[in-house]
């Protein structure tokens, strides 16, 4: 975690407490060293910025890592729904692949 970058992000957040990108960047900074704190920011994004598509993949992955498969599944599904509504088929595809892998539905032809 880069402390100076985190400090700068919190300054940005003071200037605009509703900026989805800043919240996302803070969550990303916390991701490795403090997953619970990262999750809190991801959950804030999911609640307050439902159409910020990038959150769904990372939040769902973190739920998976924390052993919350049921929440991860719901998050992937919601992300696929939102990304489709937003016309973001790249995000939809990434979410679908991650969801399929989590559910054991990914397979390769031999």
Give the position of tokens 């605009």. Answer: 16
Domain assignment of residue 108, yes or no: no
Confidence at residue 31, expressed as pLDDT on a 0 to 100 scale: 94
Domain assignment of residue 109, yes or no: no
Confidence at residue 109, expressed as pLDDT on a 0 to 100 scale: 55
Number of domains the chain is built from:
1
Cα angle at 29 between 31 and 100, to 5 degrees?
40
In terms of residue numbers, what domain contains 52? 3-102
Domain assignment of residue 110, yes or no: no
Which pTM does this prediction carry?
0.89
Confidence at residue 37, expressed as pLDDT on a 0 to 100 scale: 97
| Pick from 29, 37, 38, 77: nearest CA to 57 | 77
Domain assignment of residue 107, yes or no: no
Low-confidence ranges of the chain (pLDDT < 50): none
Domain assignment of residue 78, yes or no: yes
Euclidean distance between CA atoms 76 and 22, whole angstroms: 22
Q: What is the CATH number of the domain that holds 56?
A: 1.25.40.10
Strand boundaries in 7-62, DSSP class E: none
């Amino acid at each position: 975690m880069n402390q100076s970058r985190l400090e700068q992000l919190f300054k940005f957040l003071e200037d605009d407490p509703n900026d989805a990108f800043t919240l996302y960047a803070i969550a990303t900074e916390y991701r490795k060293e403090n997953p619970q704190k990262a999750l809190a920011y991801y959950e804030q994004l999911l609640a307050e910025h439902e159409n910020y598509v990038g959150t769904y993949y990372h939040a769902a992955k973190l739920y998976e890592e924390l052993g919350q498969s049921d929440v991860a599944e719901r998050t992937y599904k919601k992300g696929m729904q939102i990304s489709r509504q937003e016309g973001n088929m790249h995000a939809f595809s990434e979410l679908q692949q991650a969801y399929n892998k989590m559910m054991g539905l990914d397979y390769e032809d031999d």
